[in-house]
Amino acid sequence: MQLDDLYQEVILDHYRHPRCSGELAEDEALVDEENPLCGDHLKLAAHISDGKLTGVKIQCQGCAICTASASLMAEAVNDQPLADIRKKSEAFLAVLRGERAASEDELGDLVALRGVAEFPLRVKCATLPWHALAAALQRLTAPPAA
Amino acid sequence: MSAKVLDPLKLRADFPAFGRVFEDGRRLIYLDNAATTQKPRDVLKATRRYYEESAGNVHRAVHRLAAEATGLYEEARQKVATFIGAPSPKNIVFTHGATEGINLVAHGWARKFLNASDEVLVTEMEHHSNLIPWQQVTRERGARLLLAPVLEDGTLDREAFRHLLTPRVKLVAMTHASNVLGTINPVAELIREAHVAGACVLVDAAQSAPHLPLNVTELDADFLVFSGHKLLGPTGIGALYAKAELLDAMDPLLTGGEMISRVWDDHATWAEPPQKFEAGTPHIAGAIGLGAAVDYLTRLGHDALRQHEQKLTAYALEKLGALPGLKIFGRAPERLAVVSFALEGVHPHDVAQFCDRDGIAIRAGHLCAQPLLRRLGVPAVSRASFYLYNNRDDVDRLAEGLLAVRKFFHATG
Give the SS3 label for residue B116.
coil
What is the per-residue pLDDT for B413?
45
Q: What is the pLDDT of residues A89-101, one digit of tens each?
A: 999 999 999 998 9
Amino acid, single-letter form, for residue B110: A
Residue B237 contacts residue B93 (beta carbons within 8 Å): no
CB spacing of A9 vs B353 below 8 angstroms: no
Give percent of chain A above pLDDT 70.
97
Which residues does chain B have with pLDDT short of 50? 1, 412-413
CB spacing of A37 vs B365 below 8 angstroms: yes
**A contacts of B354 (beta carbons < 8 Å):** 3
CB spacing of B353 vs A6 below 8 angstroms: yes
B359 touches chain A (CB under 8 A): no
Taking the C-alpha atoms of residue B385 and residue B370, their distance in angstroms, rounded to an integer, is 19
The closest alpha carbon to A66, from A20, A127, A114, A10, belongs to A127
What is the per-residue pLDDT for B61?
82
The closest alpha carbon to B6, from B301, B232, B338, B230, belongs to B301
Cα B377-B383-B388 angle, rounded to 5 deg: 150
Distance, CA of B277 to chain centre: 20
Domains of chain A: 3-139 (3.90.1010.10)
Cα B130-B131-B137 angle, rounded to 5 deg: 105
Taking every pair of C-alpha atoms in chain A, what is the biggest distance, in angstroms?
53
- The pTM for the full model equals 0.93
* Closest residue on chain B to A62 (Cα): B347
Amino acid, single-letter form, for residue A31: V
Q: For residue A1, name the pLDDT band (cuts at 50, 70, 90).
A: low
Residue A7 C-alpha, separation from nearest chain B C-alpha, in angstroms? 9
Domains of chain B: 8-30+301-411 (3.90.1150.10), 44-298 (3.40.640.10)
**For chain A, how many residues are written?**
146
**B contacts of A64 (beta carbons < 8 Å):** 346-347, 349-350, 409
Q: What ipTM does the predicted assembly reach?
A: 0.82
Q: Which residues contact A102 (CB under 8 A, 6 or more apart)?
A: A95, A111, A114
Q: Mark whether B368 is an active-site residue.
A: yes
